């Protein structure tokens, strides 16, 4: 599932994501653009246990949170 420059709808994200699926979280404008959420905050906001890999890309950033088992 890809979420690009949007608000995090926690319950809906978990509802539509397959049990082994991943979320691609993209902040197109980085910290200066709303709605910016760092990868750790996205993973912490989702119900259950999640781990996230993240990086900066130009002036934006991306993260890939995945459920841990």
- pLDDT tens per residue across span 18-53: 888 899 998 877 677 667 778 778 888 888 888 888
Q: Are the C-beta atoms of 35 and 6 separated by less than 8 Å?
A: yes
Name the nearest CA neighbour of 7 among 41, 26, 31, 35.
Answer: 35
pLDDT-derived band at 62, boundaries 50, 70, 90 = confident
**Pair of tokens at residue 19:** 């049990």
**Pair of tokens at residue 13:** 């994200």
pLDDT-derived band at 57, boundaries 50, 70, 90 = confident
pLDDT at res. 68: 84
Q: Is 17 helix (H, G, I), strand (E, B) or coil?
A: coil
Confidence (pTM):
0.79
């Amino acid at each position: 599932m890809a979420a690009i420059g949007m608000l995090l709808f926690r319950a809906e994200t978990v509802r539509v994501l397959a049990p082994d699926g991943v979320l691609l979280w993209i902040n197109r404008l980085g910290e200066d653009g709303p709605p910016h959420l760092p990868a750790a905050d996205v993973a912490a906001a989702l119900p259950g246990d999640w781990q996230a890999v993240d990086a900066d890309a130009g002036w934006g950033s991306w993260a890939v949170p995945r459920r841990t088992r």
